[in-house]
Amino acid sequence: MTTTSVAPSDGEGAASAGGGPAPPTAAASSSRQAKQTVWLRFTIWLSLSVLVGLAPTITEYLHDRQTAGAPAFTFWEWCSEADLYPMAMSLVIASVGEALMQLMKKASASLVLVTVNNLVIMVFAAILSSSSDDANKIKEVVGQQSLIAFLVAVAGSGLCTWMCAKAAAAEETAQ
């Protein structure tokens, strides 16, 4: 009894001389390395920009939980005390700078769109932050608005960082 097998014409699935799976090609290895670089860059952005930026707020919250007589804030009051507007603006400014550096190398309509979106977020955060320290502020409203601005800034900045990392990895792979 004889069997026949059909191998793809591009050589994919071909066995090596030892009978095992074919060794990865240089293109597959390069692609895998590019993906790892993108994920590494995104993880570094997330940890250094977002988590380290929120560290003072988180430590203050944890400190207040351990201190007798500390004021009991609702979630929205806590958000209003967290200085999320300046954090949102710093994330956006960093991503706009990164996008401009990438755009000087190669134009991308989607990156321009994300950058313009981030600039709009920054303008709104700058306008709204001026009233966040007002004596007559409504803490719940400030907390809601600042959290929304922060989350939108994280999303926009993260998307921009991801796009720039992918573009840089594609350039490196092409070389």
Q: Can you give the residue ranges of every domain in the chain?
A: 29-174
Mean pLDDT of the chain: 81
By C-alpha distance, which of 45, 125, 140, 33 is closest to 87?
Answer: 125
Question: Residue 155 — pLDDT band, cuts 50, 70, 90?
Answer: very high
pLDDT value at 120 more than 70: yes
Triad 51, 58, 136: Cα angle to 5°: 115
What is the spatial distance between Cα 61 and Cα 48, in angstroms, rounded to a whole number? 20
Contact partners, residue 106, CB within 8 Å, separation at least 6: 167, 171
The stretch 58-72 carries a mean pLDDT of 79
Question: Residue 154 — pLDDT band, cuts 50, 70, 90?
Answer: very high
Residue 116 amino acid letter: V
The stretch 56-63 carries a mean pLDDT of 82
- How many other C-beta atoms can be found within 10 angstroms of the C-beta atom of residue 18? 6
pTM, two decimal places: 0.74
pLDDT value at 15 more than 90: no
Angle between helices 26-45 and 139-174 (to 10 degrees): 160
